[in-house]
Amino acid sequence: MANPVVSLDADLLRQQARAETGLEDFGDESHVDAMQHLLDALNTEANLNEAGRAMFAGRIRNILVCRLRAEDWFRRHPEILEEEIRAPLAIVGLPRTGTTMMHRTIGADHRMYAPLWYEVRYPVPFPGTDFNGIDPRIAVAEAEVAAMLEASPELASIHPMDARGPDEDIMLLEQSFFSGVPESFAHMPSYGAWLDRQDQRPGYRYLKRLLQFLQWQKKRFGQGSGERWVLKAPHHLRYPAALCETFPDVSILQTHRDPVQTIPSYGSMMHALISPLANASDKAAIAQHWAGHWDRAMRATMQFRDAGHEHRFLDVWYQDTVAKPLEEIRRLYDFIGMPFTEEARAEMEKWRDLNRREERPSHQYTLEEYGFTEQGLKKSFHEYRERYILARPTR
């Protein structure tokens, strides 16, 4: 007898989340319509296999559970929302431009708070958590990362996965249903187009609430009192106005590398994430969709910078971050007015010694297998390449 199809129904998922928690309040209603659009796309466009439907059902149910428990924490501990997020640093750039390396190197500085993978995946403490003990989210997150690498072994060579390491705050945005995370696991172009037309500020407001919550938790767990957050997500390239409205004192580090080198690599990563969850997947269609997405995102940031926000940005180039990373980070610290201490340097050097690229397998792909040509990519990203690649300053 065939297994019943996993349901991706909003009412059922909410009912299951309420039953698991005994709670009723999901918080801000802005998520309701966004969640329904996502479910519609998953049911009609994503071509999910059984594993894909099960994954999304579990992921969405987990978000709803987190929202219920977060609202309960906010009600019982109103001081959480009094936490100040002071002068955060946001690292943005096209994927594969060194954002992860910069984020994790800077995150080694004990004065920085960086959102860790297990925190952004599970931002709300599990029931019964002892803040004086080991956080139970860590073991769950480590098992999940191991399962992802087992399903797509090539991810190890594309993006280093570490359940305890700094990772993208886009997974916090996912809790609002205003993020590109679902598109990383399912090919849904019409959903992405719908999301792009929406006001992103509700998602960013919820991101701030969750950062306040994580900051409060880190203090309870005895993880120091960071001077500022270091965030990282290419997603912010598309919506810099919402980012800066939500965090008016944010500084932005923008990384640069030729899209001819980065976009095919990113396309291969998206295919590696999507293919295990789909009945069929088209490498070229997935890669071309994301190439268009990042072209629009880069144009949005260039327009934002030109509209009077250039002072917020510091540019770094991939070649420099590879050749002299700590010199570039010192330049960043000067930009944000933070001393680059010998202790910070030692912490960063230690992290880099333990996380060298040669210890991971190399990433193999060709432009052609993802439907690209060098000339086509140069044409698509002409304006960006003229401004930041061909005119790269030498220092």
Domains of the chain: 87-389 (3.40.50.300)
Q: What percent of the chain stands above pLDDT 90? A: 86
pTM for this prediction: 0.94
Q: What is the pLDDT of residue 375?
A: 96
Q: What is the pLDDT of residue 1?
A: 36
Query: What is the C-alpha to C-alpha distance for residues 250 and 318, in angstroms, rounded to an integer?
Result: 22
Q: Does 121 or 159 have the greater pLDDT score?
A: 121
Amino acid at 365: Y
Q: What is the pLDDT of residue 225?
A: 72
Average of pLDDT values for 261-283? 93
Q: Does 203 or 225 have the greater pLDDT score?
A: 203
> Is the pLDDT assigned to residue 322 strictly greater than 60?
yes
> Is the pLDDT assigned to residue 2 strictly greater than 60?
no
What is the largest distance, in Å, between two alpha-carbon atoms of the chain? 68
Tell me which H or E stretch contains 14. Answer: helix 10-21
Note whether 315 and 335 are within 8 A (CB). no
- Give the pLDDT band of residue 107 (cuts 50, 70, 90): very high
Dig out the tokens for 87 from the structure: 């002068």
Note whether 46 and 188 are within 8 A (CB). yes
Average of pLDDT values for 239-249? 98
Average of pLDDT values for 350-363? 72
Average pLDDT value for the chain: 94
